[in-house]
Amino acid sequence: MKKTYPIFVILCGLWSVHAMARSQSAAQDKHDAAENAPASAEGKVLAQYIGQWRWKTDETSDGAMKSRSGEQTSRWLIGGKVVEQRYKTGDGADDGVVMASYDSDRQSYFACYFSAEGKLTTWTGKWNPGVHQMNWEGHHAKGVVTMTERFIDPHTEEIKAVNKDNEGKTLSEWVERDTRRVGELGENREGLSAPKKTPEKPPTAEGKVLAQYLGEWNWKGDGTSDGVAKSRTGEEKTRWLLGGKVLETRYQSSAGVDEAFVMLAFDPDQKAYVGCTVLPDATVTTWTGQWAADAHQMTWEGRNAKSVVKMIDRFLDSDTVEVKGVVTDNEGKTVSEWVERDTRKHE
C-alpha cells in the first residue's frame, strides 16, 4: 500500500533517519540465516525459516485427496526484522507470498499470507521451544485455520493444518513436509525455477485500480504528532508479485535506508482491497480499503495493536497522489495527523 509508511513514521516517532542496515538480498543457506538474524530470541526462531525449501502437501477436501509440491524461498527484509517467503508450484508458477515478523505490541509472531488469487489470511503464532514447534491460528474471510509447524531438524519441517468455516465445519485438512535445499546445482539466484513472466496490465477492474500504484515515486509528508510538526521525504518502489495479484512496496528514507515493506491486493472473498505494512520495529498493521471511482480515491482503514488509522489516497492525475490521514489510539484519542504528496519519477 503505497501510502502507509508516513503514517507509522508519525505513530512510532520515526521521523528522524534510522541508523539501520539495509535489507539483505535473499539468504542462501543456514550460514546466512545465522549471520543476518537479529540477536533476539524471537529473531532466532524466525531464522529457522531462512533459505530454500522443497514442499510436498497432501490435502483432503470434501472427501477427496490431492497432492501438490513445489519450492519456497525465505529471505530477510528490513535488516533482519521481517521474513518474506515466496511459494511456487512444481512448474514454477507463483503460489503465494508471506511476510512474517515478531510483533512486540501483540506479544506474538504475526504473518500475512497472500494466495495466488490475492486472498489474505492473517496469522498469529506462538513458539513452543519444548517441542520445537510454531502454533499458528489464521483468519480469512471464510473461516479459521489452525496449523502447527514442527522443526524435526534444521533441514526438515512437518506441517499439519485444519481449515474450518465460520460455523466450525471442517473445509479441508492437510499435512506437509518441507525439506531444505542444500548444495544443489543448476539453480538461479533465488534457488527456484525461473519465474513465469508477470503481466504488466492485470485484466480485472480491481487490478487496474492497483496498477495505479506501480512504479517509482518521491514522497513528502508533513505531519503533527503531540503538537510537534515535522516533515520528511523519501522514495518508494512498487512492483507486482504473484503474476499481477499482489503489490509490494519498498519504502526508503531520503538517505536510502529501508524503512518499511507493504503488500497490497484485492481479496475477492472480502470484496475489499487488503494490505499489510511492516515497519523496522516489526510492527504489523493490516488494512482494508474501498475504491471510489467517482472521486478517484482509495479510503483505507488500518489497525495494529495500539491504534486505528484512517487514510485517503486521492489520485489527482496519473503522476500525483494526495494523501491525508489521522491516527487514533484504541480509546479514540488523536495521536497524529498528516498530509503527503507523492509524485511519480520519470526517467
In a domain, 314, yes or no: yes
For residue 314, pLDDT beyond 80: yes
Residue 17: DSSP 8-state: P
In a domain, 206, yes or no: yes
- Whole-angstrom Cα distance, residue 16 to residue 23? 19
Q: Are 265 and 275 in contact (CB under 8 A)?
A: yes
Query: Average pLDDT of 146-161?
Result: 97
Looking at the structure, do residues 170 and 238 belong to the same domain, yes or no? no
In a domain, 42, yes or no: yes
Which pLDDT value is given to residue 38? 64
Query: Average pLDDT of 321-325?
Result: 97
Range of lowest pLDDT (21-35, 160-174, 259-273, 319-333): 21-35
Give the residue, 321 or 37, on which the prediction is more confident: 321
Number of domains making up the chain: 2
Which pLDDT value is given to residue 201? 52
In a domain, 74, yes or no: yes
pTM, to two decimals: 0.84
- Whole-angstrom Cα distance, residue 150 to residue 136? 11
In a domain, 23, yes or no: no
Which pLDDT value is given to residue 250? 93
Looking at the structure, do residues 119 and 238 belong to the same domain, yes or no? no
Looking at the structure, do residues 251 and 326 belong to the same domain, yes or no? yes
Looking at the structure, do residues 115 and 83 belong to the same domain, yes or no? yes
Looking at the structure, do residues 8 and 50 belong to the same domain, yes or no? no
Looking at the structure, do residues 210 and 167 belong to the same domain, yes or no? no
Q: Are 82 and 97 in contact (CB under 8 A)?
A: no
Looking at the structure, do residues 168 and 288 belong to the same domain, yes or no? no
pLDDT band, very low/low/confident/very high, at 183 (cuts 50, 70, 90): low
For residue 18, pLDDT beyond 50: no
Read off the pLDDT of residues 238-290 as tens digits, 9 standing for 90 and up: 999 998 999 999 988 887 777 889 999 999 999 999 999 998 888 899 999 99
Which pLDDT value is given to residue 187? 38
Which pLDDT value is given to residue 195? 45
CATH number at residue 125: 2.40.128.20
In a domain, 250, yes or no: yes
In a domain, 13, yes or no: yes
Looking at the structure, do residues 173 and 36 belong to the same domain, yes or no? yes
Which pLDDT value is given to residue 335? 92
Which pLDDT value is given to residue 138? 98
- Three-class SS state of 316: strand
For residue 6, pLDDT beyond 60: no
What is the share, in percent, of the chain residues with pLDDT greater than 90? 71
The last residue of a domain, from among 180, 208, 228: 180
For residue 129, pLDDT beyond 70: yes
Phi, psi of 337 (to 5 degrees): -140, 155
Which pLDDT value is given to residue 37? 55
Read off the pLDDT of residues 19-54 as tens digits, 9 standing for 90 and up: 222 223 333 344 444 445 566 899 999 999 999 999
Grid coordinates representing 22?
A: 539495509
Looking at the structure, do residues 47 and 125 belong to the same domain, yes or no? yes
Which pLDDT value is given to residue 5? 36
Looking at the structure, do residues 34 and 14 belong to the same domain, yes or no? no
In a domain, 47, yes or no: yes
Looking at the structure, do residues 236 and 283 belong to the same domain, yes or no? yes
Which pLDDT value is given to residue 202? 59
Give the residue, 212 or 184, on which the prediction is more confident: 212
Average model confidence (pLDDT) across the chain: 85
Looking at the structure, do residues 143 and 205 belong to the same domain, yes or no? no
For residue 17, pLDDT beyond 60: no
For the chain, the distance separating the N- and C-terminal CA atoms, rounded to the nearest angstrom, is: 23
Which pLDDT value is given to residue 78? 87
DSSP string, 147-206: EEEEEEETTEEEEEEEEEETTS-EEEEEEEEEEE--S-SS--TTSSPPPPPPPSS-SSHH
Range of lowest pLDDT (38-47, 134-143, 189-198, 328-337): 189-198
Read off the pLDDT of residues 196-207 as tens digits, 9 standing for 90 and up: 454 555 579 999
The last residue of a domain, from among 151, 180, 209: 180
For residue 11, pLDDT beyond 60: no
Tell me the residue range of the domain where 50 lies: 30-180
The last residue of a domain, from among 180, 214, 231: 180
